[in-house]
Structure formats: structure tokens, C-alpha cells
Structure 1
Amino acid sequence: MSSISISLLLPTRGRPALVERLFNSISKTVSHFDNIEVILYADEDDTASHGLTSTDFSVTTIIGPAKSMGGYNSACLDKARGDIIILANDDMVVQTKGWDDKIARFDAASEDKIYLAYGNDLLKKKGLCTFPILSRRTCELLVEPYPIAYGGAFIDVHLFDIFKRLQYAGFDRIRYMEDLIFEHLHYRVGKADCDDTYTRRGRFADDSTFVAMAGQRRRAAARLLSALQGEPMPSFEPWKDDRDIPNGLSAAIGYFTQQFLLDKQLPLQWRAYLWYWFIGRYLAARGFFGLLMR
């Protein structure tokens, strides 16, 4: 029996039926109930979610004011007891039996516990760590693994970017587990209805935050690199909010070029992808063409 404790962080709002569906999928697939916990955050006014629990595994519910997505996840992390931390969504369903053993074996094989692992969400698949898995040590080294500045999106891309930097520096600590199915039942692919929780967030509201936090990701990667190389750790510097994308297409392209295309700590393919993607999102947000599918 595994001695590893796994914490799933689960912010939710207005979706008690989806949480119950997720809990049911966990109960059907987990190997060791005693080794997992869910830390659930529900808004004060979301009374339908306040009593969500499971008779099979530990559920800790935090009831508090509405926060950013980064704030929700950070609050859940503060209460988590596990050595392995998974960001979960209420529109997720676990499909793989023994998923906890699979993750625990991977963690046990990691000597320094610095990694970003993720399963197959059947949507983005290998392309993005939709439900990122981090060790507690990685979270501690990053200090703020789930930045509170992110209102509702990009935490997965933020972490992916940090570990792309490690990869480019010669430390490939990204692990995609294709046979670990955490299915993302998202409305954009017809697997769910488009409800208020989806629509209350601005489609492009976090774009400027992600772009502006490029320097923060460089510093986060530097901390992980120092730990891997046994060198003195750079101090953590809280992010100074400066997230205004310049007005005008040419100015915006210049900004994206500086933030992405000229960032030599990233592999060229990833730099080019971010540059192209954010130019497209900039245009879509201003009505030049239909909304891009993320």
C-alpha cells in the first residue's frame, strides 16, 4: 500500500452535481481511499456546494469570499496535507483505475521531487498540462505555484512555461502520462452545457496577466534550476502588477515579440507558438475574427 498522500485542489461554484460526479469517479477508480484528500473551496453565497462530501475519502471544505482562480487554488494548497498536489476541476472525471498508485510510483521514482506531471484530458492531451501534478517540494520552491493574479485561466500554461524553461536548460522534468485519463468534460467540445460558471469569466481577461508575468516565470525557473544544480537559491520576488497590453496592433506585436519571441530561455518552437497565439487572441478580443478555440 502506498504511503504517499495525494491532495486534489478543487475550487467550485454552482456545480454541486458536477462535483458529485467527480467524487463518484474518484471512488470508482482510486486504489487507496486513505491516501487521498480533496480540498474544496466554495464561495460564501454558493450554499448548494457547502455540504459536498464523500463517505469514501477525506473532503475538507473551505467556505469563503469569492477569489481569483489563483486565490482559490492557493487557499486550497494552504490546507492540503499531501506530498503530491493535483489541480482538479469540477468538470473533470477520473477514468483510470489505480490512478493514485500510478502517480505515487512516478513520485517515488523522482529523487529530487522537482517535476510537472499531467495526465490525458482527452482534449488538449499532451499539448497542455490541463490538470497539473506537482510535488509539495516543487510548490515550496516556486513559493507561489498558482499566482493569485490569474482570475480564471492560464495557471496551466504558466506552469508549462516554467518547466519548458527547465527543459531548455537541460533538465526535462515534464512528464505526460498518456494512460492516466483525467477527462475534461468541457462545453467547447460538446461534453457539457455552457453555464454561468463558464461565462462569468472574461474570455480574454487573463491574457495581459500571462504576458506580463514572463519575468516572474523566468525567476521561478531560476529557483528550480538552482535547486537542481545545488546552487544558492535566488530570493522570491512578489510580482509587481504591470499588465497593460499596448493599444494598437503594431505596438502589441512589438510587446509580444519582446515578451515571447526574444525570450532566449525558452525553446524557439514554444516562443513562436506563444507569439502567434497571443497575436491571434489580441485580434479576436477586438473583434477582428471569431473567438479562438484555446
Structure 2
Amino acid sequence: MDDLLMIVPTRGRPDSVPAILDCWRRTGATADLLFAVDDDDPMLTGYREHMEQIDDPRVHWVTGPRLRLVGTLNKVALDMAPRYRFLAFMGDDHRPRSASWDERFRICLSGGPGVVYGNDLLQGELMPTAVAMTSDIVTTLGYMAPPVFVHLCVDLVWKDWGRGMERITYLPDVILEHMHPAAGKAALDQGYQECNSSEQSTADATAYYAYRDNGALQADLEKLRALVEEAA
């Protein structure tokens, strides 16, 4: 079994590929990296051109039908969970900055089922906008994020899982910078407009409160606490 895979669902931003790969090299990361691209992406040719220029066995990409962020993440995570001990997620607008950030994640997760995240310089400890977890969490629940979500609020769920398991670590000195318009670090392109629209924000927020308050979160936590007990 391989150790750590970072999954990056991406759409309409092929230039994120070389930008993220540059961060991999600068930080000395040894984790595998997988870009998940929609097969109907208007920029698919740009992704293909970038990937064809990469000669690095750690870097992979897959294409598939558009499932939106959570759907794509779940499909890839479930496919890859048997192969990797740890699975991680970040957006195509995250940039790892800290040397050996992936090794810090491995160390935190080496003791058993759990969740770890670094500092995105936007939400900080408040939300794990980029996250890593043991792959047994994904196989136990059948997803890396509840499929009732489309894009937003899944970071709140990951924090709920980690806290409910009493197995969560925040690393303030491990920087995975979120190059987001809210931080003035990116333009408000079509992707941001779609996922941050009032309609999408309302839908995902409503899904979160329903998941949290109507028993689904507690059902997941029962499974995760049992997982922790089994691993002890």
C-alpha cells in the first residue's frame, strides 16, 4: 500500500497543474498527486498538454463525467482508498508552502484513524479547507465527504468528524495557502461564481445543518468511533 495521495478536483484552470507541481518541488513533497478533471471541461486540451509534459511518477490525472467537487472527490477517493494509507484533498487554488508538509501529515496520522489540516492563511484553524485523513475513514463511511453536498461546507464536516472522533490535529505552521478571491489572491472566475452563488451557498448550508442536526452526523460518528476503538 502506498502512503499519501493528494486529490485535486479541478475544472477550467489547467494552469493550476504547473503551479501546484512547482509547489511540490519547492516543498520537497513526496506524496502522490492526482488531478481529477471533468471530461467535458472546455479546457481539457490545456490539462492534457500540461500533463504530457510532466515526467514524474508521483503525478497522475483522471478524467470522468462532471460530478461537481464533492461527487468527483468521492469517486476518486473510493477508487484510491485501497491503494493508499492516507488520502488528502485540496482545491486547485491551494498552494503548499511549507517544507515537508506532507511528512507532517503522515506523522500526525500514523497513530490510527484521524484527520489533520494545515493553515490556509484564510480560514486558519476555523475550517480545514484542505485536509488529510486515514483512508479507512473513507472506506468505513463510503465517502470522503457526505454526498448531500455539492461544493461548500464539507470542511465543516471534516472538522466535525475529527472532533467527534477526538482525533483531529491543526498544524498552524504548515501552510497550504488558499489563493481565493476572498483573500484578494484570485480573480472571481466562472468557477468561483458558480460555487459561491447565493443559490449554491444556500443549498450547501441547508444540507450541512440537516446533516448535522437530523442524525446523519451522529450515525457517521458512531461508525468512526468504532473504527478508532478497533484500531486501538
Q: CA deviation at 1:151?
A: 1.0
The equivalent of 2:15 in structure 1 is 17
Kindly report the root-mean-square deviation, in angstroms, between the aligned alpha carbons of the 2 structures. 2.0
The equivalent of 2:89 in structure 1 is 87
Paired residue secondary structure (1:85): strand
8 Å CA contact retained: 1:13, 1:42 = yes
**Stretches of 4+ moved more than 4 A in 1?**
none
Paired residue secondary structure (1:151): coil
- Check 1:203–1:50 CA distance in 2 against 1; reply closer, same or farther (3 A cut): farther
The equivalent of 1:220 in structure 2 is 220
Q: CA deviation at 1:224?
A: 1.5
% identity of equivalent residues:
23
1:49 to 26, 47, 50: 47
8 Å CA contact retained: 1:29, 1:94 = yes
- Check 1:96–1:152 CA distance in 2 against 1; reply closer, same or farther (3 A cut): same
Higher relative contact order (CA 8 A, sep 6+): 2
Q: CA deviation at 1:176?
A: 0.4
1:75 paired to 2:75: yes
Residue ranges of structure 2 left out of the alignment (5+ in a row): none
Superposed CA deviations along residues 54-84 of structure 1, whole A, max 9, x for unmatched, are 3234233221221132211012213423211
Q: How far apart are the structure 1 equivalents of 2:84 and 2:27?
A: 19
Q: Indicate the structure with greater strand content.
A: 2
Q: CA deviation at 1:126?
A: 1.0
Q: How far apart are the structure 2 equivalents of 1:227 and 1:28?
A: 36
Q: How far apart are the structure 1 equivalents of 2:68 and 2:163?
A: 25
- Check 1:9–1:100 CA distance in 2 against 1; reply closer, same or farther (3 A cut): same
- Check 1:16–1:106 CA distance in 2 against 1; reply closer, same or farther (3 A cut): same
8 Å CA contact retained: 1:86, 1:131 = yes
Paired residue secondary structure (2:176): strand
The equivalent of 2:203 in structure 1 is 205
Q: CA deviation at 1:142?
A: 2.4
Aligned residue identity for 1:210: Y
Q: How far apart are the structure 1 equivalents of 2:147 and 2:68?
A: 6
Question: In the TM superposition, what are the counterparts of 1:266-285 in structure 2 within 5 Å?
Answer: none
- Check 1:38–1:6 CA distance in 2 against 1; reply closer, same or farther (3 A cut): same
Aligned residue identity for 1:91: D
Q: How far apart are the structure 2 equivalents of 1:227 and 1:83?
A: 15
The equivalent of 2:178 in structure 1 is 184
Q: How far apart are the structure 1 equivalents of 2:107 and 2:164?
A: 25
Paired residue secondary structure (1:193): coil
The equivalent of 1:114 in structure 2 is 113
Question: In the TM superposition, what are the counterparts of 1:219-258 in structure 2 within 5 Å?
Answer: 219-230=219-230
Superposed CA deviations along residues 147-182 of structure 1, whole A, max 9, x for unmatched, are 22211111111121223333xxxxx21100111110
Q: CA deviation at 1:11?
A: 0.6
8 Å CA contact retained: 2:120, 2:178 = yes
Q: CA deviation at 1:51?
A: 4.2
Q: How far apart are the structure 2 equivalents of 1:100 and 1:57?
A: 17
Paired residue secondary structure (2:224): helix
Give the aligned length.
218
Q: How far apart are the structure 2 equivalents of 1:40 and 1:163?
A: 25
Q: CA deviation at 1:227?
A: 2.7
Paired residue secondary structure (1:78): helix
**Higher Cα Rg: structure 1 or 2?**
1
Paired residue secondary structure (1:212): helix
Question: In the TM superposition, what are the counterparts of 1:99-138 in structure 2 within 5 Å?
Answer: 99-108=101-110, 110=111, 113-138=112-137
Normalised by the length of structure 1, the TM-score is 0.69
Q: How far apart are the structure 1 equivalents of 2:2 and 2:140?
A: 20
